[in-house]
């Protein structure tokens, strides 16, 4: 039996339609999902932050799951055009207080859904800062009336929808607080008899797949920042599917040879639809590494 392609985003995050789904519009929405491993009074949890962008404006959701994949809480801020872009949600979970604060009223956005600067998003647990995103950190600490301390959050995974005709780009930080790299995927499948797939990190070609029609699914190990990164690809829809089909790429770092072997035993590149699984989440909590999952959509 073929395994599902693993994920670190869990069933409580924003759901993305499968490649085979007829709901292409929903599946191709512009979104970025980031997962952070945090500590709630010594217990591991995952905080999933999803930024969305559509014709109605920007949107945001925050979900907190415990180590057993149980959703403690989820807050959705709907896309806005004219509404005030700041606010707070105060929740009580098992007699503990969870506060979520955000201020995007001065945020600067680029082409992607997540803000570039001029904002903060803060999650506090019993008045202790658990996750703090953005550059307006002083303003965020005033909200929880707490002395500024570094949160223990670790950025462990990112999922993003990217769009292009021949070139597709994203940014990735393959280790926590490491260098931010430009990831570029190049593939011309229009009127090309023998398409070739090229992946570049900071303009340097790190892998090339020729005879792509025979190798439309596979995996290959590259080195980034001295770390082995396993690259999985599935471009079946680009070559044999409908015009709006998406390809899927996953970059998974592994911190040791043993963990690299463990990761390979989980993944099965022969699976077309790569979905999310419990087991992968457990591996993330055990420190398997960083994952970047890219859905690459061709635009006409």
Instruction: Write down the mean pLDDT value for the chain.
Output: 78
Q: Report whether pLDDT(222) > 70.
A: yes
**Phi and psi (nearest 5°) for 258?**
-65, -45
| pTM, to two decimals | 0.79
Note the pLDDT of residue 39.
Answer: 86
Residue 75 corresponds to which tokens in the numbers above? 């807050």
Note the pLDDT of residue 255.
Answer: 55
How large is the average pLDDT for residues 16-26?
37
pLDDT, one tens digit per residue, over 229-259 is 999 999 999 988 766 678 999 998 875 444 4
Structural domain boundaries in the chain: 30-154, 163-298
Three-class secondary structure assignment of 181-239: EEEEEEECCCCCCCCCEEEEECCEEEEEECCCCCCCEEEEEEEECCEEEEEEEECHHHH
Q: Report whether pLDDT(16) > 80.
A: no
Cβ contacts of residue 267 below 8 Å, gap of 6+?
Answer: 3, 5, 6, 219, 230, 232, 250, 252
pLDDT, one tens digit per residue, over 80-115 is 776 778 999 999 888 889 999 999 999 999 888 999
Q: Are 127 and 144 in contact (CB under 8 A)?
A: yes
**Phi and psi (nearest 5°) for 104?**
-120, 20
pLDDT, one tens digit per residue, over 38-66 is 988 778 889 999 999 888 888 999 999 98
The CA distance from 141 to 143, in Å, is 5
């Amino acid at each position: 039996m073929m395994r599902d392609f693993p994920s670190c985003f869990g069933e409580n995050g924003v759901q993305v339609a499968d490649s085979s789904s007829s709901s292409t519009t929903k599946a191709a929405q512009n979104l970025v999902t980031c997962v952070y491993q945090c500590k709630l009074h010594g217990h591991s949890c995952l905080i999933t932050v999803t930024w969305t962008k559509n014709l109605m404006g920007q949107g945001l959701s925050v979900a907190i799951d415990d180590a057993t994949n149980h959703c403690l809480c989820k807050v959705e801020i709907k896309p806005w055009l004219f509404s005030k872009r700041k606010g707070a949600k105060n929740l009580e979970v098992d007699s503990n207080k969870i506060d979520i604060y955000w201020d995007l009223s001065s945020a600067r956005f680029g082409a992607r859904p997540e803000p570039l600067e001029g904002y903060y998003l803060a999650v506090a647990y019993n008045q202790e800062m658990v996750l703090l995103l953005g550059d307006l950190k002083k303003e965020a600490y005033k909200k929880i009336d707490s002395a500024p301390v570094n949160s223990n959050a670790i950025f462990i995974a990112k999922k993003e929808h990217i769009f292009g005709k021949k070139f597709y780009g994203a940014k990735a930080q393959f280790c926590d607080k490491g260098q931010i790299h430009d990831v570029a995927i190049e593939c011309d499948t229009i009127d090309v008899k023998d398409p070739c797939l090229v992946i570049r990190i900071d303009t340097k070609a790190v892998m090339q797949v020729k005879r792509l029609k025979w190798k439309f699914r596979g995996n290959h190990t590259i080195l980034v920042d001295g770390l082995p990164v396993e690259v999985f690809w599935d471009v079946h829809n680009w070559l044999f599917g409908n015009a709006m089909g998406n390809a899927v790429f996953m970059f998974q770092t592994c911190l040791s040879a043993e963990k690299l072997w463990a990761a390979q035993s989980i993944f099965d590149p022969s699976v077309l639809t790569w979905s999310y699984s419990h087991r992968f989440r457990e591996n993330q909590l055990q420190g398997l590494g960083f994952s970047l999952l890219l859905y690459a959509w061709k635009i006409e």
